[in-house]
Structure formats: structure tokens, C-alpha cells
């Protein structure tokens, strides 16, 4: 059986993270992705601290493996004509220029759908294709700020804090990939094979990502608050605590989990204390309870507590570094890490992450290199009759 998107071609005019990551997910599922780059290349190629990897940076490798690079000057007649022919041979187009730019290049949806009525056209932008903020420039950390995400991050008495990775770009990419696949299924079920325009807003995506805090506000007027490491339940037993060596996060949010926690910690006195007998009372006396828990957690290492609590049925996890996560035995045989070649750079091979889910067979993956700038220009232009 072929991969889900085998035989599907994508003309990818996007750059940096949100657009390329969306097409990366589709590439992992078997789509052919033609990456259209300007003469200077996608700027992500140079996002690296290692000078010898400029042109093939680590984030570029991880989001462009297996794609084909075609260099075109879209401001030239030749470049536009070549782009039109590539689009005509494609099922899907993805772009993340600022609104209006692709229209000025003569490659907007209204122009293209006359030539290619089955085209699925996905535009990714900061604020969407309409509205008073339409033309505002935006990158991940700007949307983190505007969406309220930063206002929720950090300790209650601290300043707003950016999430430590481009979370808005990442979620926008996932949502765009989901939307594209949905539109593709819709087209395939349509007797007329009619295409679709997808208006993907990073602000919209970030708000959908935060539905768990926006819903209480919209429905009940409950104002979200910055809670630091306290969990969504607000339970004092869903927080991060110091141990003998490193922090530990626990998530005892249900009554039976609290009881198991007390048994596993050998603190039966906390079960007998009337102040902590039910979730409401524990919340009223949260500081007192956390002081008691903190004293006991400091008697063992985080890994000891993680094993002891999890075996007792209490959600718990030591706060690991990113490097430590890669050493987890749990990740073996998950198919999460892919070894790919990297041609013509300071490194020969690289490890990247897969899609994050497994199929029984013919699942996601890629085993070919990220493209050198313009590596496939002659191949693709020859195919569409431009050379």
C-alpha cells in the first residue's frame, strides 16, 4: 500500500517555519513537494549558530527533507511563467507571503482558479486575508504577544513570558496541514473536483490552541490568570516541586490520585488532615498542603519519585532537559527519529523527527536529503517544458 498522499504534488512558495513545516508534514505522508525559492533562497537556510552549516541550517534540514528546490525570480516574466506551469501540474499550493503579495505577482487564487479549478490554495499569514490587521507584519513571537499567549506564561508575579520555542508557527503548521488534507478529501469526493481556498491565520490558530482558556472566558466570563507551573485544574497537587536533585511535576487532580499520592509518599497524615479532605478544601489550603508536599519531595531524587508515583497510578515526570529526552528508552522503536542524508554540506547525515504518530503500515517518514538551493531547477523546469 502506498503512503496516504503518494502521487500528490505541492507547489510550496512558503518560507521560514509555518508554511514549510506544514508541507513537511504532507511530505512525510508521501506528497511530492516542489519548494519554490527566490535566488537568495529561503532565509531559514541560514538560521544556524554553525557558520559551516549556513545554507543548510539545522531547522532547514528538519523541515525540508525530501523536498525539491527550484529557484525562480517571480518578478521576472520567465519566473512567473515557470511558476504557473509548476502550479498547473500541482494539486496544492502553499504560500505565506504577506497578504496581497502573491496577487501582485500574478499568482493569486482568483487568477489561478480560472486556469486550474481543482487547485487547493492555502495562504498562511499572521492575521488572515481580511480585517483591519490584515497588512500588519507578524512572526511567531508577535502573535504570542497579540494572542494573549504571553500574558498566560510565567509565574503569577512575573512579567509575561514567551514560550521557549516557536509554538504558534508549529501549531499553525499542523492546522494548515489538517486543513489542506481536509480540502483534498473534499475535492476528491466532489464530482467536479472543485478546489478550495484556505485562509490560515496564525492569530486564529493560536486562539484555537488556547481554547481551554478562551472558552471559560467567552462562556462564563472567567478571566484567565497566569499560574506558573500550576496545572489547568488549579489543584495544588498539579504543580512542579523541587526534589533532592531536580524538579518534578505531578498531576494528582482526582480524589483517587490524591489518595494514591499520599500513600506513595508515605504521608497518610495528609489523608487524615481535614483541611485536605476534598478538592475544594485542598484548594482553599493550597499553600499549607504544598509546604507539606515540598518537605517530603526533597527527601528523594526526581527519578525515584517519578518511578514510585507512576507505578502507584499518579501522573508524574521529572523535568528533563531537551537533550535528556532524546535518551529516553521509551523512544526506542517508536519511529520518531529519522536518519537522512545531507548532501554537499559540512555533515553527511542528520537525525530529524518524524510526524509523531505511527501507522501499522506505510506510515509517515522520509529518507531523502533536504535540497541544496536550486538543486532540482533543471529537472522540474524541463518537466514543465521551460527548458
CATH number for the domain harbouring residue 284 = 3.30.1540.10
What is the pLDDT, as a whole number, of residue 346?
Answer: 87
- What residues make up the domain containing 182? 9-209+332-383
Residue 17 falls inside a structural domain: yes
Residue 221 falls inside a structural domain: no
**Pick from 295, 318, 341: which residue ends a domain?**
318
Residue 134 falls inside a structural domain: yes
Residue 326 falls inside a structural domain: no
**One domain for residues 311 and 343:** no
How many structural domains does the chain have?
2
**One domain for residues 203 and 102:** yes
**One domain for residues 351 and 308:** no
Strand partners, 338: 352
**One domain for residues 74 and 155:** yes
**Pick from 271, 287, 318: which residue ends a domain?**
318
CATH number, domain containing residue 198: 3.40.50.10540
Residue 225 falls inside a structural domain: no
Q: How far is 58 from 71, CA to CA, in rounded Å?
A: 21
What is the pLDDT, as a whole number, of residue 1?
Answer: 81
If we measure between CA atoms, which residue out of 247, 248, 235, 243 comes closest to residue 289?
235
**One domain for residues 50 and 196:** yes
Number of Cβ atoms within 10 Å of the Cβ of 292:
19
The number of CA neighbours under 13 Å toward the Cβ of 210 is: 23
Q: What is the dihedral of CA 292, 288, 310, 258, to 10 degrees?
A: 120
Q: How far is 351 from 51, CA to CA, in rounded Å?
A: 19
**One domain for residues 314 and 175:** no
Q: How far is 172 from 142, CA to CA, in rounded Å?
A: 14
If we measure between CA atoms, which residue out of 202, 27, 180 comes closest to residue 98?
202
Q: What is the CA radius of gyration of the chain?
A: 25
What is the pLDDT, as a whole number, of residue 345?
Answer: 77
**One domain for residues 59 and 21:** yes
**One domain for residues 308 and 338:** no
**One domain for residues 177 and 118:** yes
**One domain for residues 273 and 175:** no
**One domain for residues 37 and 164:** yes
**One domain for residues 154 and 264:** no
Please list the rounded mean pLDDT of every run of 10 residues in the chain (387 residues): 95 98 98 98 97 96 98 98 98 98 97 96 98 98 98 93 97 98 98 98 98 97 93 95 98 97 98 96 97 98 98 98 96 95 90 97 97 98 96
What is the pLDDT, as a whole number, of residue 283?
Answer: 96
**Cα angle at 107 between 101 and 112, to 5 degrees?**
140
Q: Which DSSP state fits 68?
A: E
Residue 327 falls inside a structural domain: no
What is the pLDDT, as a whole number, of residue 73?
Answer: 98
User: How far is the CA of 200 from the CAs of 71, 77, 100, in angstroms?
Assistant: 25, 29, 14
Residue pair 190/177 in contact (Cβ under 8 Å)? The answer is no
Amino acid at each position: 500500500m502506498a503512503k496516504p498522499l503518494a502521487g500528490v504534488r505541492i507547489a510550496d512558495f512558503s518560507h521560514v517555519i509555518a508554511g514549510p513545516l506544514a508541507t513537511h508534514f504532507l511530505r512525510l505522508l508521501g506528497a511530492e513537494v516542489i519548494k519554490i525559492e527566490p535566488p537568495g533562497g529561503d532565509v531559514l537556510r541560514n538560521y544556524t549558530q554553525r557558520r559551516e552549516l549556513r545554507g543548510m541550517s539545522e531547522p532547514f534540514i528538519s523541515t525540508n527533507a525530501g523536498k525539491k528546490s527550484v529557484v525562480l525570480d517571480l518578478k521576472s516574466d520567465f519566473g512567473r511563467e515557470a511558476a504557473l506551469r509548476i502550479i498547473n501540474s500541482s494539486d496544492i499550493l502553499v504560500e505565506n507571503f504577506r497578504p496581497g503579495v502573491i496577487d501582485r505577482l500574478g499568482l493569486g487564487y482568483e487568477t489561478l482558479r480560472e486556469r486550474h479549478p481543482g487547485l487547493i490554495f492555502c495562504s498562511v499569514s499572521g492575521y488572515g486575508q481580511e480585517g483591519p490587521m490584515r497588512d500588519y507584519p507578524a512572526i511567531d513571537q508577535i502573535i504570542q504577544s497579540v494572542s494573549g499567549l504571553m500574558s498566560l506564561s510565567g509565574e503569577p508575579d512575573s512579567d509575561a513570558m514567551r514560550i521557549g520555542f516557536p509554538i504558534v508557527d508549529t501549531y499553525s503548521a499542523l492546522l494548515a496541514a489538517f486543513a489542506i488534507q481536509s480540502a483534498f478529501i473534499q475535492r476528491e469526493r466532489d464530482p467536479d473536483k472543485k478546489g478550495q481556498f484556505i485562509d490560515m491565520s496564525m492569530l486564529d490558530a493560536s486562539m484555537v490552541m488556547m481554547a481551554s482558556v478562551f472558552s471559560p472566558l467567552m462562556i462564563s466570563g472567567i478571566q484567565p490568570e497566569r499560574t506558573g507551573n500550576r496545572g489547568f485544574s488549579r489543584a495544588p497537587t498539579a504543580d512542579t516541586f523541587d526534589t533532592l536533585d531536580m524538579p518534578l511535576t505531578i498531576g494528582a487532580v482526582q480524589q483517587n490520585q490524591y489518595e494514591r499520592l499520599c500513600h506513595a509518599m508515605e504521608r497518610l497524615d495528609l489523608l487524615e488532615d481535614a483541611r485536605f479532605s476534598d478538592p475544594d478544601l485542598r484548594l482553599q489550603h493550597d499553600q499549607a498542603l504544598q509546604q507539606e508536599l515540598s518537605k517530603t519531595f526533597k527527601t528523594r531524587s526526581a527519578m525515584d519519585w517519578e518511578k514510585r508515583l507512576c507505578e502507584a497510578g499518579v501522573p508524574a515526570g521529572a523535568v528533563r532537559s531537551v537533550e535528556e529526552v532524546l535518551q529516553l528508552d521509551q523512544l526506542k522503536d517508536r519511529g520518531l527519529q529519522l536518519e537522512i542524508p545531507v548532501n554537499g554540506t559540512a555533515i553527511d547525515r542528520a537525525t530529524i523527527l518524524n510526524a509523531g504518530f505511527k501507522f501499522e503500515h506505510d506510515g509517515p517518514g522520509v529518507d531523502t536529503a533536504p535540497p541544496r538551493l536550486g538543486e532540482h531547477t533543471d529537472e522540474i523546469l524541463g518537466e514543465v517544458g521551460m527548458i
